[in-house]
Copies of this chain bind each other. A is one copy, B any other.
Amino acid sequence: MTDRIREFLRTHRNDGPCLVVDLEEVRENFRAFESALPDSRIFYAVKANPAPEILSALAAMGSCFDCASIPEIEAALAAGATPERISFGNTIKKERDVAAAFDLGVRLFAVDCLPEVEKISRAAPGARVFCRILCDGAGADWPLSRKFGCTPEHAPDVLEAAHRAGLVAAGISFHVGSQQRNTEAWDAAIASASAIFQIMAMRGIRLTLVNLGGGFPARYRGDEPAANLYGVAIRESILRHFGNRVPETIIEPGRGMVGSAGILKTEVVLISKKDPSEDTRWVFLDIGKFGGLAETMDEAIRYPIRSERDGAEAGPCVIAGPTCDSADVLYEKTPYLLPLSLEIGDMLLFEGTGAYTTTYSSIGFNGFAPLQAIVI
């Protein structure tokens, strides 16, 4: 909770939930990544929060951009990024979107299989590609599936195919899982990358790039390691596995760049009990899973929640959203403690909501408007 947001919320009252993002905090996070990994280029993961003000601020500081789609590429360009500062990092791309990105000047693409290499060789001749490998994501709060990446054993064939098709086989990427709390999580993947570099060298193809992905946590509970600790662990790991042939590296922070910069304001719509004999109160808010808090799915991300009554005696609450959908319950398995004096009409603040909120918001489920965002 920054002073600027506190001041803003005191003077601006509006109806309905809203997210307030403090650009100063985003800039501070950018500088923290720069100083933690001074030799890595920073590609901000636009999907975390594509607000134009955020993209412009980061572009002005020299950030590069990891984009998932043509609209995200266009947004990065509109914010002032030049095409060589853009990566089309989605491994799942329509060939016509690859062509559109190429037309816009983008020359760096993610792949994780032969068919994607074929598309890129046709639609973006000569471009650089990096191959994403599977990672197990242990230690991350947001679940990582097998959706992205091929096995490390298959990666050399993918990269060799790219090379033979006239593309530049640039290197390897991976993702250790979002909100990754273990600073050592990168080590196994960096070791895999180094092994693939050696296999490719034996095939006469020199890789140069390791894309370390994202995963850097936002500060939710306060016990997450800071960026510099990740930087130390990653730099040591690269030295250990690559020796003095240190590759070009890039990082793709999203949550770690903007998560801590946002505060979500919501109103208590109803406090009730299912039966007077039960202790647990149900606290219903004017925002829920379908209004932007999708990451409460399976209670994966537990945002700190503040109320003006903090400090008073507290009791357990189930917290739920305003829609007529029984799945729209935010926290139930591990209830939150909220003040017993909490009342209908009170304002609650969800901290660390700068990432992965506004764009997850449904366009109008149950007739509720999408989450409004204000960047200050």
Q: Which A residues form the contact surface with B (CB < 8 A)?
A: 45-47, 50, 67-72, 75, 89-95, 112-116, 119, 134, 137, 142-151, 153-154, 157, 175, 177-178, 267, 269-276, 282, 284, 286, 290, 294, 297, 320, 322-329, 332, 344, 358-370
Contact = CB atoms under 8 A, between A and B. Distances in A.
9 contacts: A50-B364, A69-B366, A69-B367, A93-B269, A113-B272, A115-B272, A147-B320, A151-B275, A297-B327
A320 to B, nearest CB: 5
A274 B68 contact: no
B326 A290 contact: no
Number of this chain's copies in the complex: 2
Given A113-B272, A115-B271, A344-B115, A47 B153 contact: no
A147 B272 CA distance: 10
A113 B273 contact: yes
A154 B274 CA distance: 8
A159 to B, nearest CB: 15
Which 7 pairs show the lowest CB-CB distances between chains A and B?
A: A71-B367, A113-B272, A69-B367, A72-B367, A68-B366, A151-B275, A145-B326
Contacts of A95: 344
A340 B101 CA distance: 30
Contacts of A116: 270, 272
Contacts of A142: 326-327
Given A94-B269, A269-B92, A50 B115 contact: no
Contact of A274 (B151, B328, B332): B151
A149 B275 CA distance: 10
A172 to B, nearest CB: 15
A369 B154 CA distance: 33
Nearest to A284: B92
A365 B356 CA distance: 9
B270 A113 contact: yes
B72 A366 contact: yes
B362 A363 contact: yes
Nearest to A116: B270
A70 B322 CA distance: 12
A148 B71 contact: no
A205 B115 CA distance: 70
Contacts of A290: 294, 360
Nearest to A364: B359
Nearest to A158: B272
Nearest to A151: B275
A150 B115 contact: no
Given A92-B270, A177-B326, 4 more contacts: A45-B324, A69-B368, A89-B324, A175-B326
A273 B112 CA distance: 9
A135 to B, nearest CB: 10
A327 B363 contact: no
A322 B359 contact: no
Nearest to A343: B115
A147 B366 contact: no
A366 B47 contact: yes
A365 B47 contact: yes
Nearest to A276: B154
Contacts of A143: 326-327
A71 B290 CA distance: 16
A124 to B, nearest CB: 15
Among A71, A75, A320, A362, chain B packs the most CB atoms within 10 A around the CB of A362
